Structure 1
Amino acid sequence: MMRNFRYTTDVLATAIAPAIWGSTYFVTTSFLPHGYPLTVAMLRALPAGLLLLLVVRKLPHGIWWARSLVLGSLNFSFFWAMLFVSAYRLPGGVAATVGAVQPLIVIALSRVFLGTPIRLAAILGGLLGVAGVALLVLTPKAALDPIGIVAGFAGAVSMAFGTVLTRRWQPPVSNLTFTAWQLTAGGLLLVPIALLLEPVLPVPNTANIVGMSYLGLIGAALTYLLWFRGLSRIEPSAAASLGFLSPIVATLLGWLALGQSLAPIQIAGFIMVLGSVWLATSTRKPVAIAPKAVKPV
């Protein structure tokens, strides 16, 4: 009974992260200057990572320098770069639907890297989630761009690898320290790309500062701390299914804050997405996680 309660608590805590990520589009379009996606991504990750490093006061050691760079690239740098390319070249609905295949990729990678058995319920939950996201965000006039689709799929693969390897490479430090390492590495890797490909960001106004503070402190530091904590406690495929909550929150914010309408087909998509999350998480048996030897930070 206690293990079931802890598992449910871990799932709910982890779900906070993708739910908050669903607000990224609204905050970006409402508070930040347009046309600087890579710079914004860098400013979202790097200051948050450096701030957490100041708190934990611990740098990677040995193999963790390389692993932090790999995970920072997979979870942040490459993933965010591909995400923005996809978002610019595809309508939002198409981009979200392409990205929704990530849980299915995680299921396959978990089998390869973690030896996790492939469950029929997980496959059905992933397919149901993709269909639900499509109903939720696709429009009949949605155009397809090959480069945008490839970028969206590449971003999903990147995040899937990051999700699985984060579970496989559990370091002997706290989740706060692990989050600091990855955010800093991801932000540093984005610096040269942003400087080369984008113009200099204009002097920020109050709205820009508020938006960047939210994306950095809440949308990056807090959410990824919860996300990496969840990946250390629940199966990656179950955690990945929680990503379906992002388009739900994004659609709800569009309806509540931007005056967008909700059609019956979108409501059906809501129900299907929620059903897929329930199917993917409720069929998981709680797994006892051996406590890590955490050094003081």
Structure 2
Amino acid sequence: MKTPVAQPVSLGHGGRLSSAAVTALAPAAWGTTYVVTTELLPPGHPVFAGLLRALPAGLIALALTRTVPHGAWRGKAAVLGVLNIGLPFPLLFLAAEHLPGGVAATLAAAQPLVVAVLAVLVLGESPSAWRLAWGAIGVAGVGLVVLGPSAALDAVGVAAGLASAASLALGLTLTKRWGRPPDVGPTAFAGWQLTAGGLFLLPLTALLEGAPPAIDGSAAFGYLWMGVCGGLLAYIVWFRGLATLPITSVAVLLLLSPLVAAVLGAVLLGQWLGPIQLLGFGLALAAIVAGQLPAPTWERTSR
């Protein structure tokens, strides 16, 4: 028997835009990862940083809600935790080691396109030229913002970057398909996945990086920020938004992460944007806004 797809809560246009604005706080928080990692955290331990971002936040959420997955949700929570959190971290770090940051960010920005395809294959939604076009514009915009003259391609890095984007896109799509149990709130749901992703990263951290680094005051603040704001709080609002908004609208919000990273680089590190980058910034913002609007009448009537 075919598993029913979880349906978004019905919202009016104003409510939908409000929900999108709140949900956007999650990718905005994730956009701070680059500056926090480069300026506050000890180098050479990116998987450990991912572990601290996920596992403590997940355990705190479980302690607060006192809710653990039961039955089939044990397996589902584990799968979603690996796809949404555990697997993308090492893949992103591998991509970052083999590619310039701009190339890695552009590959990550392809997630809305992958989600648009998966929405057809997994959720049975009708293909949308409107969504695909704006997704492509968003990727192009991010590329103009973050790609520099040193951009170069490396087979391992490209494969890791695309695999990370695919993992996140599949996790997002399956989260939408399965929904969450009716008696489970977004805090518990986020806790399940953060814990599962953190447990997945635990042996990887020991295997790849060995002993943890020395942690000073700046590093402690960085880990705390990533765990609380970039981990627990971000995923709570992310999964709450996914329950109320169309999946393609949520996916396009991911374009905010590289844009926030670019703004912080300009303001805090003096990495100012030139005219071409500002054009790309505008295109990516236009794609984000268009992703929150209904498809045009011509596409809806042609279905």
Q: TM-score range, shorter-chain basis?
A: over 0.9
How does 1:86-97 map onto structure 2 within 5 Å? 86-97=95-106
User: Post-superposition shift, 1:254?
Assistant: 0.5
Q: Does the 8 A contact of 2:100 with 2:150 survive in 1?
A: no
Match of 2:59 among 40, 44, 50: 50
SS in 2 for 1:232: helix
How does 1:175-254 map onto structure 2 within 5 Å? 175-254=186-265
Unaligned runs of 5+ in 1: 286-297
Residue of structure 1 equivalent to 2:41: 32
SS in 1 for 2:122: helix
Residue of structure 1 equivalent to 2:177: 168
Residue of structure 2 equivalent to 1:283: 294
User: In 2, Cα distance between the equivalents of 1:233 and 1:180?
Assistant: 19
Alignment length (residue pairs)? 285
Unaligned runs of 5+ in 2: 1-9, 297-303
Residue of structure 1 equivalent to 2:267: 256
Q: TM-score, normalised by structure 1?
A: 0.94
Amino acid at match of 1:276: A
1:132-184 deviation per Cα after TM superposition (whole angstroms, max 9, x unaligned): 01100001221111100000000000000011111111122111111010000
Residue of structure 2 equivalent to 1:290: none
Q: Does the 8 A contact of 2:25 with 2:234 survive in 1?
A: yes
User: In 1, Cα distance between the equivalents of 2:254 and 2:197?
Assistant: 20
Q: Does the 8 A contact of 1:238 with 1:284 survive in 2?
A: no
Q: TM-score, normalised by structure 2?
A: 0.92
Residue of structure 1 equivalent to 2:50: 41
Residue of structure 2 equivalent to 1:273: 284
Q: Does the 8 A contact of 1:121 with 1:279 survive in 2?
A: no
User: Post-superposition shift, 1:2?
Assistant: 6.8
Q: Does the 8 A contact of 2:45 with 2:213 survive in 1?
A: no
Residue of structure 1 equivalent to 2:3: none
Q: Does the 8 A contact of 1:121 with 1:283 survive in 2?
A: no
User: Post-superposition shift, 1:281?
Assistant: 1.4
User: In 2, Cα distance between the equivalents of 1:2 and 1:62?
Assistant: 31
* Identity of matched residues, %: 44
User: Post-superposition shift, 1:100?
Assistant: 1.3
Which 4+ runs in 1 deviate beyond 4 A? none
User: In 1, Cα distance between the equivalents of 2:295 and 2:203?
Assistant: 42
SS in 2 for 1:114: coil
Residue of structure 2 equivalent to 1:67: 76
1:106-136 deviation per Cα after TM superposition (whole angstroms, max 9, x unaligned): 0111111212222121011101001101100
